[in-house]
């Protein structure tokens, strides 16, 4: 009897010590850029199956859909915090969504880690919002270097989606770097959801550039490529990470063959031992090659858990102090150093941004083939 009591006391004590850590995941699961949300979620779930707990505490993922909308992006973050009392949030994909949601997370002092939002403003002036990816001054610079030096382009026309902070920023950074290298740039504008790009393409035909650079997302980029090719444009077409979804090829067909794009990861150019492990695991589970979104979703989750473990190692009781845990975690995320992720070795600096190489892809026979790497020191300042 006495033994039983001792045993029961022990069991109760252990249960009391380990808690359930809730993590909110806010992604575009439906709406315009749902392909991004689906791929990111696959990567996060894979990482969760690899590491389902932090310092002995079970991690529970709570998925919330932002429906590819800015208002919902903010609402979903508020819901995750106020209703679910999450310790941290992984999200979001589009920079405009991370800006809207990040403002809420910052105000409520809840750490948010974006896997893929690249606009510099996402983390600017914030303590609680960090990211696992590089930022657009670098991505735009890398694209400009690639266009100018590797493709020999001297004249460019940039397509800017004025509704997306990501697109507006990336256009600006590309233009700045391309002109600095000696190139000439014109810019045309469109909006998310547009279907007809004939006015913009007419201008392209009049300018006859060596390259058109599309800084928006895949749904419009695929249509722009189609309409440009239909109207007889023969030059290069390039874009940023926003083009990387199989839907680009599904919608764009032959018109997107040969499109170059800057991104974060390519399964054919594994950067670390973890990249290889990730590609193998992902293929086994989902039966296809992983995208940059899947790789960064995977990395964001593991970076977060790693930071949790560092926090709890010093102070295991914090797991029962929700706000204390959040505050410590926000700081610790920015102490991430040389973390071996699927997308490379990741260091998050004191302002919440990761510094990493840019991968260049080319669409070849309908798939995203590896075309090269641009390192941080190759960008003109
Ligand atoms: N970088 C994009 C943004 O900030 C999001 C994105 C990343 C989309 C990677 C696709 C692939 O809006």
Asked if residues 255 and 248 have their Cβ atoms less than 8 Å apart, the reply is no
Asked if 2-134+271-348 and 136-263+359-378 have one fold, the answer is: yes
The pLDDT, as a whole number, for residue 9 is: 60
CA 126 to chain centre: 18
Q: Is 86 helix (H, G, I), strand (E, B) or coil?
A: coil
DSSP 155-217: EEEEEEETT-HHHHHHHHHHHHHHHHHT-EEEEEEE-TT----HHHHHHHHHH--SEEEE-S-
Paired tokens of 259: 């499109």
pTM across the whole model: 0.94
Centre a 10 Å sphere on the Cβ of residue 315 and count the other Cβ atoms it contains: 12
CATH topology of domain 2-134+271-348: Rossmann fold (3.40.50)
Distance from the CA of 179 to the center of ligand 1, in angstroms? 24
- Sequence ranges of the domains in the chain: 2-134+271-348, 136-263+359-378
Distance from the CA of 263 to the center of ligand 1, in angstroms? 9
**Does 46 contact ligand 1 (Cβ within 6 A)?**
no
Distance from the CA of 330 to the center of ligand 1, in angstroms? 22
Contacts of 223 (CB under 8 A, 6+ apart): 194, 195, 197, 251, 252
List C-alpha distances in Å: 211 to 62, 157, 241: 42, 7, 17
CA–CA separation, 121 and 168 (whole Å) = 12
**Does 35 contact ligand 1 (Cβ within 6 A)?**
no
**Does 170 contact ligand 1 (Cβ within 6 A)?**
no
Closest atom of ligand 1 to 245 CA is: 10
The pLDDT, as a whole number, for residue 11 is: 55
| CA-wise closest residue to 255 among 174, 215, 201, 294 | 201
The one-character DSSP state at 365 is: T
**Does 293 contact ligand 1 (Cβ within 6 A)?**
yes
Paired tokens of 134: 């590089």
Task: Give me the half-sphere count of Cα atoms (radius 13 Å) on the Cβ side of residue 228.
Answer: 36
CA-based torsion, 136, 142, 143, 148: positive or negative: positive
DSSP 312-324: HHH-GGGGG-HHH
The pLDDT, as a whole number, for residue 5 is: 65
Return the residue whose CA atom lies nearest to atom 12 of ligand 1. 94
| CA-wise closest residue to 26 among 82, 54, 57, 68 | 68
The pLDDT, as a whole number, for residue 149 is: 95
Residues of the chain with pLDDT under 50: none
The pLDDT, as a whole number, for residue 121 is: 98
CA-based torsion, 51, 57, 58, 62: positive or negative: negative
Buried b (16+ CB within 10 A) or exposed e, 169-198: bbbbbbbbbbeebebebebbbbebebeebe
Contacts of 12 (CB under 8 A, 6+ apart): none
**136-263+359-378: what CATH class?**
alpha beta
The pLDDT, as a whole number, for residue 90 is: 98
**Does 361 contact ligand 1 (Cβ within 6 A)?**
no
The pLDDT, as a whole number, for residue 70 is: 97
Cα end-to-end span (Å), the chain: 75
DSSP 328-346: HHHHHHTT--SEEETTEEE
pLDDT digits (tens, 9 = 90+) for 261-302: 999 999 998 789 999 999 999 999 999 999 999 999 999 999
**Does 119 contact ligand 1 (Cβ within 6 A)?**
yes
Return the residue whose CA atom lies nearest to atom 8 of ligand 1. 242
Distance from the CA of 149 to the center of ligand 1, in angstroms? 24
For residues 94, 98, 101, 102, the Cα torsion angle rounded to the nearest 10 degrees is: 180
Asked if residues 148 and 207 have their Cβ atoms less than 8 Å apart, the reply is no
CA 134 to chain centre: 9
CA–CA separation, 222 and 240 (whole Å) = 13
């Amino acid at each position: 009897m006495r033994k039983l009591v001792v045993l029961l006391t022990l069991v109760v004590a252990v249960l009391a010590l380990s808690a359930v850590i809730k993590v909110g995941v806010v992604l575009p699961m439906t709406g315009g850029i749902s392909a991004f949300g689906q791929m990111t979620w696959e990567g996060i779930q894979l990482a969760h199956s690899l590491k389902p707990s932090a310092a002995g505490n079970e991690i529970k993922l709570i998925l919330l859909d932002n429906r590819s909308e800015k208002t919902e992006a903010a609402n979903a973050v508020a819901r995750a915090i106020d209703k679910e009392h999450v310790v941290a949030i992984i999200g979001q994909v589009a920079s405009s969504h991370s800006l809207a949601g990040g403002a809420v997370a910052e105000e409520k002092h809840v750490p948010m880690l974006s896997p893929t939002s690249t606009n510099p403003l996402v983390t600017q002036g914030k303590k609680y919002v960090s990211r696992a990816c590089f930022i657009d001054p670098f991505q735009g610079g890398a694209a400009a270097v690639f266009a100018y030096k590797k493709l020999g382009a001297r004249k460019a026309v940039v397509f800017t989606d004025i509704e997306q902070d990501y697109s507006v920023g990336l256009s600006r950074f590309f233009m700045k770097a391309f002109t600095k290298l000696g190139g000439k740039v014109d810019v045309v504008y469109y909006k998310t959801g547009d279907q007809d790009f004939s006015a913009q393409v007419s201008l392209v035909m009049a300018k006859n550039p060596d390259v058109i650079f599309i800084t928006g997302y895949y749904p419009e980029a695929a249509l722009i490529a189609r309409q440009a090719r239909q109207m007889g444009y023969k030059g290069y077409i390039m874009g940023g990470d926003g083009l990387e979804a199989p839907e680009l090829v599904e919608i764009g067909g032959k018109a997107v063959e040969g499109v170059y794009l800057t991104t974060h990861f390519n399964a054919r150019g594994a950067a670390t031992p973890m990249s290889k492990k990730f590609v193998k695991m992902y293929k086994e589970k989902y039966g296809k090659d992983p995208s940059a979104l899947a790789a960064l979703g995977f990395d964001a989750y593991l970076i977060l858990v790693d930071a949790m473990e560092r926090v709890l190692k010093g102070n295991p009781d914090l797991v029962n102090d929700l706000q204390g845990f959040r505050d410590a975690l926000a700081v610790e995320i920015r102490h991430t150093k040389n973390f071996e992720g699927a997308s490379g070795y990741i260091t998050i600096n004191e302002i919440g941004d990761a510094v990493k190489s840019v991968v260049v892809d080319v669409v070849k026979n309908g798939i995203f083939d590896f075309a090269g790497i641009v390192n941080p020191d190759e960008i003109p300042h």
